[in-house]
């Protein structure tokens, strides 16, 4: 059995992270005195750790005694970003959400005027009525995730979408009036999620929330679909939280 890592080694790593975090909160270069005060490290301790990070280009020194984050962090960040895959990163969160709610969880992306399901988790029981096939497509205005993408476009683009597609009707609940669709999209900013109230399929409702990348771009959307009578009041918060967790994995740090 390997010997436990000495506490002193772990402590050094924790101090390195605290210094990096302190530098990340600053817009420009800062002095050793400022860093020591913010991290509550003795100046000599902070100086020793900074010297090591300087050698590895994790930190750069501009003027004497002033520090900023180094180019090596950008290189590492670019490498991490290039290896991120929204489908792979989302799946564990989707599986957990499915275990919590017991309903179909979908991951969708946009392709022109449609949303495409690229991953799903669903129960194997024959009692499950809602089945979203991977690769299935649907118009933007009839799905919760589609509304998320339309909202991100802005009012002018939504009007253009309505004129281009004619907002075809799929059920009696489908929003075919551009003004009513726009009014519902405005609620997304307030609530942080979108709903499909039996607009794509009778008897089936859906709640969706957006997934953002490190630049704040909407790259995908997460949704839960279920027979309308099984829709839970707590589900919007659950879906929003799951989407936010995936966004964080992709590097998003906003609210």
- The answer to whether 59 and 23 are in contact (CB under 8 A) is yes
| Domain ranges across the chain | 7-80, 84-249
pTM: 0.66
Nearest to 109 by CA among 31, 21, 208, 39: 208
What is the model's pLDDT at position 208? 94
What is the model's pLDDT at position 129? 45
What is the model's pLDDT at position 174? 87
What is the model's pLDDT at position 79? 67
Do the domains spanning 7-80 and 84-249 agree at the CATH topology level? no
Fold of 84-249: Beta-Lactamase (3.30.450)
State the 10-residue block means of pLDDT for the chain, 255 residues long: 59 91 88 92 93 92 88 77 73 90 88 86 53 72 92 91 90 88 88 89 90 88 88 88 90 75
Q: Does domain 7-80 have CATH number 1.10.10.10?
A: yes
């Amino acid at each position: 059995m390997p010997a436990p890592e000495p506490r002193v080694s772990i402590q050094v790593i924790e101090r390195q992270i605290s210094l990096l975090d302190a530098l990340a909160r600053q817009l420009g270069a800062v002095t050793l005195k400022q860093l020591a005060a913010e991290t509550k490290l003795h100046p000599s301790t902070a100086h020793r750790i900074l010297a090591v990070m300087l050698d590895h280009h994790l930190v750069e020194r501009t003027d004497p005694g002033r520090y900023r984050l180094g180019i090596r962090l950008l290189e590492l960040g670019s490498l991490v970003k290039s290896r991120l895959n929204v489908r792979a990163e989302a799946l564990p969160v989707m599986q957990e959400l499915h275990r919590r709610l017991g309903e179909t969880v979908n991951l969708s992306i946009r392709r022109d005027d449609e949303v495409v399901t690229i991953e799903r988790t669903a129960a194997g029981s024959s009692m499950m009525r809602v089945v979203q096939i991977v690769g299935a497509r649907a118009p933007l205005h009839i799905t919760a995730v589609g509304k998320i993408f339309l909202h991100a476009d802005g009012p002018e683009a939504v009007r253009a979408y309505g004129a281009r597609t004619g907002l075809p009707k799929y059920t009696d609940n489908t929003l075919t009036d551009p003004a009513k669709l726009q009014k519902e999209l405005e609620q997304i900013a307030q609530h942080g999620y979108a709903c499909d109230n039996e607009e794509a399929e009778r008897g089936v409702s859906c709640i969706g929330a957006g997934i953002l990348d490190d630049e704040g771009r909407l790259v995908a959307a997460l949704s839960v679909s279920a027979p309308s009578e099984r829709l839970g009041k707590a589900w919007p918060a659950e879906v929003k939280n799951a989407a936010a967790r995936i966004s964080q994995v992709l590097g998003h740090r906003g609210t």
